[in-house]
Structure 1
Amino acid sequence: MINLKNLIFFYSSFSSKSGRIEYGIYCLINVLMGYFALYLYSNVSLDNERILNIFYSCLILLITFVPMQAVTSRRLRDLNAKPTFFLFNFIPILNIVFVIFLLMAKRTTN
C-alpha cells in the first residue's frame, strides 16, 4: 500500500527514500513504456497519419524520464550513497549494470 501511494503521489519527488520494491516497479514501468514507444516508432509511415507515432514515442520517453531519475536519486539516498551517482544512468552500457545493482543492493543501516 505504501509503495502504491509513493508511486502515485511522489513520482517526481527527489527528497525522500525509496526501497527495492518501489524502484523495481518504476524500472518495470520504464521498460514497458520503452517497448511501447519502440513499437509505435517501428510502425511509422511517412505517407499517412502514422507519422504522429514519432511524436507519441518521444512523448512517452519524456514522461518516463523525470520519474525514473527521481526514483534513482531516492534509491541512492536509501543506500546512503551520493545522489550524484545517478549520472551513471546516462552512460550507455554502465546504466544496465547500475540498475541491476540498485535492484539487488540492500538498505544500509547506520
Structure 2
Amino acid sequence: MKITEYGIDLGIVFDNGNVLYDYHEQDCCEHNYADWEQLEKHALNYNFDEETFKIIPNDYGFRFGDKNRTFFIPCYSEQDGYYSDEVTISYVDKDDNVLLEINTKGE
C-alpha cells in the first residue's frame, strides 16, 4: 500500500483507496488540524503493510505506519486556550468505513 497523494484538504490517500484524515468540530475561535504538508518525503516511496497498519497518538501529533516503520505528522491548535485542542485522526476504506481512529492533541 503506497501513498498516491496528500495535502491539507486531502489527508493521505493510498493506492488501495483508503484515506487517513483529520477532523475536529471547530468552534468559533479555534482551528485544530494535522499538518499533512510535514509528511516526510521518503514516506512517499514506502510500501506500507496493510495488515499491520497502525496510528499511534504522540505528543502534539501522531505516528502512522506499520510494524516496520512509522512516520510523524504534527498537529496544531490555534486558539486562545479556552477551547479543546483535540484532533481526531481517522483511517477509512474506500467505502468510508472507519478502520482505525484515535484522538490526539494539537500544539
Indicate whether the TM-score tops 0.5.
Answer: no
Structure (1/2) with the larger helix percentage: 1
**Normalised TM-score (structure 2):** 0.23
- Larger RCO (CA within 8 A; separation ≥ 6): 1
**Normalised TM-score (structure 1):** 0.22
Structure (1/2) with the larger strand percentage: 2
